[in-house]
Amino acid sequence: MSEQLGFWRLAAAHPEGCAVVEADGARISRGALLGRANAIARLLRAQGLQRHDRVVGVLANEGVALAVVLACQQIGAYFVPVNTALTTGEVAYILGDADPVVAVASVRSAGMLTAAADAAGLPAERRFALGEAPGLRNLLAESADHPDGPLADRSPGSYLGYTSGTTGRPKGVLRKLAEGDPDDVFAAGARWQLGMFGVEPLGDGVHLVTSPLSHTAVNGLAVTSLHFGHTIVLMERFDAETALRLIEAERVTTTHMVPTQLHRLLRLPGEVREKYDVSSMRNLIHGAGPCSEETKRAIIDWFGAVVWEYYGATEAAGTVISAREWLERPGSVGRPQPGAEVRIVGADGRDAPTGEPGAVYLRMGAHAFEYHGDQEKTLANRLGDFVTVGDLGWLDEDGYLYLLGRSAEMIVSGGVNVYPAEVEAAILTHPDVEDVGVFGVPDPEWGERVAAVVQARADSGLARDGRGPTEALRDHLADRLARYKVPRLVTVVAELPRAANGKLRKHLLPALVRG
């Protein structure tokens, strides 16, 4: 039952249990994490933080970062996760937009926070670090002066997640705070979020964090797993073989990955993959970007029918699909998550017939939001209780969603629509291609022509083909795509520009094109 769950309740009842395994192998008990979270919560309140206020965190993957989130979640604060890989200017923009009562950084990001805070005009007394850092207050030392016992007047907080900004300035997605006891609220949320993937609470659950906690989905799944009574295993940064080693050593049962990470797992030599026992894995969840059919099928063949995929956005819940369903409907991203609803809307503003493409709209329901400080943008992408983030797709007769890409990315060549996601999926079937981005470039005759930037295997002959990569790929795609969809321009690069959450920064691709 939900009343048995919730991190604070579980930690008080079973303080000896392991809450977090740090990247260096150090273990943090539930009791220790609870005490740290309680003390930090009191410190935040001492800074004048009230319900609905915001705390910005520029934090690495470390246990105390989770304590900061747990502190915010029990005092009605919005936690704003910020990627440590962002530039000073990007962090300054978020600081200025979010207007936090407190901003805190890991020690390694302290210099960047200081510069960003200077640019944003954040007062010095509101700047903290998780340790000693010049010009910043030491959150760990100062919180140690506060009691670590249970708090009074608790209320549930939430996230203020900023969209990844792959097509422009990130936008803060703000939702109303829930009412009630934080343990009850987050226990119910855990049952919804993890339950849709078939994850069971308590028991021997162990969740592996492979991506930066600055990604809202990654952070949310990690903290939600704590509310489910599971242990969190942190990776400082993703390494394919290290992930396999941790799965075996810690008997990992759940993890969240992006398609790029799945691809890197598959790139490992067979003898390396066979060294590790991954049979403990019960729920391998992936999302945050399109996954090629070849990659997905290979991962299912390896790990078994434990692979789950979801589609959604910071703005709204979307769809989910199990491995068994996907094998029956390759390419689908599933049916609506519990409580969600999906519509396909045509250019005329009406629901598109089954099988016909259109804009994907997701019903917000309990997930209603607004873009922080931008009411005009909040209303611009809504249709009643539904919202779109610009994706295109279609529904089959059983309500399964298939994505075609983003409307802003659709290529119109000679008056015909070309969906980049379809072209990318076809290119990824080439054995020498590791990653790809497809987009349109201006053309005086055709309006736009199809271009591709390809990341080839290091030992690949694709870039050395005497005819050039365009001709080499054209042969491969001849029986996979209509001629008008085949890229007329292909550039091979060492690595595509992806954000830390795995999303491709497509607006950077045109600058990479040669020819």
Under 8 Å between Cβ of 44 and 99? no
Length of the chain as a residue count: 515
Tell me the residue type at 408: A
**Residue whose pair of structure tokens reads 């309006």 in the numeric block:** 447
Under 8 Å between Cβ of 317 and 362? yes
pLDDT of residue 432: 87
The residues, any chain, with a CB within 8 Å of residue 467's CB and separated by 6 or more, are none
Query: Rounded distance, CA 72 to CA 139, Å?
Result: 14
Query: Rounded distance, CA 413 to CA 424, Å?
Result: 16
Query: Rounded distance, CA 306 to CA 300, Å?
Result: 7
The full set of domains in the chain, from first to last, is 9-226 (3.40.50.12780), 410-512 (3.30.300.30)
pLDDT of residue 463: 61
CA angle 177, 234, 223 (to 5 degrees): 15
User: How many other CB atoms are found less than 10 A from the CB of residue 150?
Assistant: 11
- Give the pTM: 0.82
Query: Rounded distance, CA 89 to CA 112, Å?
Result: 9
pLDDT of residue 388: 85
Tell me the residue type at 361: Y
Q: What is the helix (H) or strand (E) element at residue 376, kind and residue range?
A: helix 375-380
pLDDT of the chain along its 515 residues, tens only?
344 899 999 999 999 999 999 999 999 999 999 999 999 999 999 999 999 999 999 999 999 999 999 999 999 999 999 988 788 888 999 999 999 999 999 999 999 999 999 999 999 999 999 999 999 999 999 999 999 999 999 999 999 988 755 445 678 888 889 999 999 999 999 999 999 999 999 999 999 999 989 888 899 999 999 999 999 999 999 999 999 999 999 999 999 998 878 988 998 999 999 999 999 999 999 987 778 788 899 999 999 999 999 988 767 778 999 999 999 999 999 999 888 889 999 988 889 999 999 999 988 666 566 777 666 666 667 788 788 878 889 999 999 999 887 666 778 786 677 878 888 988 988 888 889 999 988 877 677 889 999 998 877 777 665 456 778 888 888 888 878 889 999 998 988 988 766 778 887 888 888 65
Under 8 Å between Cβ of 49 and 126? no
Under 8 Å between Cβ of 218 and 59? no
**Residue whose pair of structure tokens reads 């007047």 in the numeric block:** 153
**Secondary structure letter of residue 330 according to DSSP:** T
User: What are residue 378's DSSP bridge partners?
Assistant: none
Under 8 Å between Cβ of 514 and 491? yes
User: What is the three-class DSSP state of 137?
Assistant: strand
Burial class (CB in 10 A: 0-12, 13-18, 19+), 450: buried
Query: Rounded distance, CA 159 to CA 162, Å?
Result: 9
**Secondary structure letter of residue 461 according to DSSP:** S
Query: Rounded distance, CA 501 to CA 258, Å?
Result: 7
